[in-house]
């Protein structure tokens, strides 16, 4: 096979790729680029937990209103979906709108960086122990002075 490119994701030689979607083992993988195009009230796709849903026909039925869904159209709604604390029924309803999965390459792009690193990209783990260490040293020094002063007076 001639497709010997990227090792990650579903792009291997059993997959056929066209229009930003890849089919492998019966599951379709959609790229973010493709998903973003479905961002209107007549054509609404959402990503929830790396799965892609076409919820166009569900907009009017949504107990939480269609507005909130349209706001997230073409994007990842996992956080807002979880914030609401949807019931098991709501989770089961999702299945009927299932289209496919988010492409592996786009999952990596979406995920926050390593938790040890903060937004500026620096490792923040050393600050978690350095600050208490400094505070402890200062308290120790002040205490020593206090004791010594009391003893000498």
**Interface with ligand HEM (CB under 6 A):** 46, 53, 55, 58, 62-64, 68-69, 72, 77, 80-81, 84, 86-87, 89-90, 93-94
**Residues 101 and 51 sit within 8 Å (Cβ to Cβ):** yes
Give SS3 for 97.
helix
Nearest to 53 by CA among 66, 71, 35, 40: 35
Nearest to 103 by CA among 6, 79, 2: 6
Residue 98 or 105 having the CB closest to ligand HEM = 98
In the bound state, the residue with its beta carbon closest to ligand HEM is: 64
Task: For the CB of residue 62, give the shortest distance to ligand HEM in the complex, in Å.
Answer: 5
Give SS3 for 86.
coil
Residue 71 or 122 having the CB closest to ligand HEM = 71
Task: For the CB of residue 79, give the shortest distance to ligand HEM in the complex, in Å.
Answer: 9
């Amino acid at each position: 096979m001639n497709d010997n490119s990227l090792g990650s994701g579903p792009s291997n030689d059993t997959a056929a790729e066209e229009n930003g979607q890849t089919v492998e083992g019966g599951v379709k993988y959609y790229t973010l680029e493709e998903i973003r195009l479905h961002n209107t009230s007549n054509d609404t796709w959402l990503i929830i937990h790396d799965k892609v849903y076409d919820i166009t026909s569900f907009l009017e039925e949504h107990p939480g209103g269609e507005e909130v869904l349209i706001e997230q159209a073409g994007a990842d709604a996992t956080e807002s979906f979880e914030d609401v604390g949807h019931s098991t029924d709501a989770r089961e309803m999702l299945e009927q709108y299932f289209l496919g999965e988010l492409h592996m390459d786009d999952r990596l792009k979406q995920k926050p960086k390593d938790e040890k690193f903060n937004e500026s990209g620096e490792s923040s783990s050393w600050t978690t122990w350095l600050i208490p260490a400094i505070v402890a040293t200062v308290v120790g020094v002040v205490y020593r002075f206090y004791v010594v002063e009391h003893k000498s007076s």
